[in-house]
Amino acid sequence: MSIGSTRRRALAIASTLLATAFATGAAAQSAGTSPQAGHEAGAARPTPRYPDGTVRLDRPPGETGYWANPSVSSLFERGVHVEMDERGLLADIDDAPKVAPFQPWALALYRYRQQNGLKDDPYAKYCISPAGPRHLHTPGGFRIIQDRNYDRIYVMFGGGNRNWRLIHMDGRQPPNPEEVSGTYYGHSTGRWDGDTLVVESSGFNARFWFSNGGLPHTEALRLTERFSRPDFDTLKYEVTIDDPRTYTRPWTAEWTLEWVEGEIEEQFCEDNR
């Protein structure tokens, strides 16, 4: 075969391959995809991080968004299966003992609050702060702002009348609850355990419901919370409740929240009264 024939044959093969590739790309474009779209569509966006590798629990620079849409609507022990509505009202009052390991007085109070339709809820009735784990169920969503200059984290709420929560990250120990005035959000200190933010809180008052379903607590309440972001669009939350005056043992609840694009919307309790 001559050199000219060989070149002509090579050009013909190359032209055929190019035409095939063009047709494949055009077909993908007409379907609204690209040749790599199948891989990208099924892949979760990676967890955003600071330059030193620390997980960002809030929006990366140049983006907007916040956390909302919790996977469960109220607080109950992990592994428990009970039916309740978005307000935390049980479908069957006989399920009340399953929700948490109550002391007898606490179960009686929880049943009472459930049976009267949660009408004494301080948040709904008086716009009292929705603190404790409840603030992560409040409509409107929230942001977690990491102030690395002052070793603090702020949790800012869209609902709840512009409430915000402070978590100290400077290594201090939680205060003795007997030596501080109780507050709605307690006194919180945090630390990183790998990619998980661990927060210990104590020093609460008893003037709020720490669950929308009316779960009781006392000033002895201590919370250990764990926040993690396994991918860009998911926040995992776990909380261990330790209040020996109210519950027979410590117990744990958990849920996830979704990343919502856009700016957080303010919602005020008084608007819904």
Q: What is the pLDDT of residues 241-256, one digit of tens each?
A: 999 999 999 999 999 9
What SS3 state is found at 101?
coil
Within 8 A by CB and 6+ apart from 26, the residues are none
Mean pLDDT to the nearest integer, 188-197: 97
Mean pLDDT to the nearest integer, 93-121: 97
Q: What is the pLDDT of residues 18-27, one digit of tens each?
A: 344 334 333 3
* Bridge partner list, 223: 201, 241
pTM > 0.85: no
Statement: residue 36 has pLDDT above 50? no
- Residues 227, 199: Cα–Cα separation, whole Å: 8
What CA–CA distances, in Å, run from 226 to 14, 96, 198?
A: 58, 26, 5
User: In the chain, what are the domain boundaries?
Assistant: 3-42, 66-272
Residue 227 · residue 203 · CB < 8 Å: no
- Residues 264, 158: Cα–Cα separation, whole Å: 6
What CA–CA distances, in Å, run from 104 to 244, 248, 249, 267?
A: 12, 9, 13, 37
Q: What is the pLDDT of residues 51-76, one digit of tens each?
A: 999 999 999 999 999 999 999 999 99
